[in-house]
Structure 1
């Protein structure tokens, strides 16, 4: 069996990672992944980039913004692939933020459940949630939902 190539073309990286070439170019512009250019100006990615792309996709799927993912990737030595220890450190950094997000979503779910129960769905007109539209003084938008 032959040794796999040390570098991948953008098409090979896209096929192996399941990420469109346009997304890979975007990730590269954002500094999340890197490549070298051949004399013909074609991108060549080290094999380790497969794990970096997997890390970016998994992190982004959790709702972590790409900017934050990039900040964590800055701690990864150049050319190194994220390993289990790296993922554990990253997830420790994000667990507080994720828990806060979960808490906020649970609060929103509970509020919407209560609101849907009465059927009016109008915070402006609801005499139970916002009598006399007193929340209008706090400015536009759903004041109770965004200020908690």
Structure 2
């Protein structure tokens, strides 16, 4: 799992300038797994984000798959990175992963406070999905 975080850190290390990193982040927004239109609703909207962000998740064969969208392009790039790191993992792996790449690429240092809060809200939501899936799994086996 951390291999992916290392890849991301290396990709961002190429750029000296924050504006270049932003451009790269924006280009990543295209790689976002598209959220189904019926999930672009209040129910899937993340609270605490300045921009509108929708996140959906499904669990298949014990692995979690996320899809998302946002009306802000930088936010889309950020969530694309989060999904790249967390997609296809077990709920437990998602809960145990320390997302150190965020600091390593300078994201937390260079985001506005409202964006930083939004980032934390997105991570929290993704972990809540993982928690719910894990709980559901335990019920099946109980």
Give me the TM-score of the superposition, normalised by structure 2: 0.27
Identify, as 1 or 2, the structure richer in strand. Answer: 2
Larger radius of gyration: 1
Q: Which has the higher helix share?
A: 2
TM-score by length of 1: 0.26
Q: Which has the bigger relative contact order, CA under 8 A and spacing at least 6?
A: 2
